[in-house]
Amino acid sequence: MEELDRTLWALRRAMALVDYRATVARLMLGADDRRFVSPASEELAMEVSRFRGISDEVVAATGRAAQAWGMRPAERSLTTLADRAPSRWKEPLDEHIDALSGDIERLHAQLADQNALLTIGQRQIQRTVDLLLGGEETAEYRPTEEFSPGRARFVDHLA
């Protein structure tokens, strides 16, 4: 049980870091500082990956604890383990479950909002790049004709 408790604390810490990285990425998007959007998103992806690894460790530790208590494989969930835990472990497990459930719900909403902002940010960046370098935004397409260049690109004026 000590191993499970340590792993759950590591998971809660990892979730806090995902929350932090998601907040940083959202602030970069909101500040429209495009230089830092990609690095912030990459850091968030690394924390999410780390979180997933620790989640796997929690599943394994939960299974070992449940097996030690003689629970069948179908019963090996953290909630079931907390329900059947000796009084010494019931409260700490319930606290972990409550904290993780609240964090997951809040983080899910935040990441959904961030995903929408990232999509908008990516479209804005693509439009800016197209205006500078040429692309779909600076060209005309007529289904009956060949692709024809549109306005002069900004970079053409630099030469």
Residues 4/62, Cβ–Cβ less than 8 Å: yes
pLDDT, tens digit (0-9, with 9 covering 90-100), for 85-132: 888 888 998 998 889 888 888 888 877 776 776 676 666 666 666 666
What is the SS3 string spanning the chain? CHHHHHHHHHHHHHHHHHHHHHHHHHHHHHHCCCCCHHHHHHHHHHHHHHHHHHHHHHHHHHHHHHHHCCCCHHHCCHHHHHHHCCHHHHHHHHHHHHHHHHHHHHHHHHHHHHHHHHHHHHHHHHHHHHHHHCCHHHEECCCCCCCEECCCCHHHHCC
pLDDT, tens digit (0-9, with 9 covering 90-100), for 20-64: 988 888 888 778 777 887 888 888 889 888 988 998 898 889 889
Q: What is the pTM of this model?
A: 0.68
Q: How confident is the model at residue 9 (pLDDT cuts 50, 70, 90)?
A: very high
Token readout for 129 is 């790049």
- Domains held by the chain: number: 1
Q: Which domain holds residue 87?
A: 2-157
Token readout for 115 is 């995903």
Token readout for 43 is 């850091």
Which carries the bigger pLDDT value, residue 113 or residue 18? 18
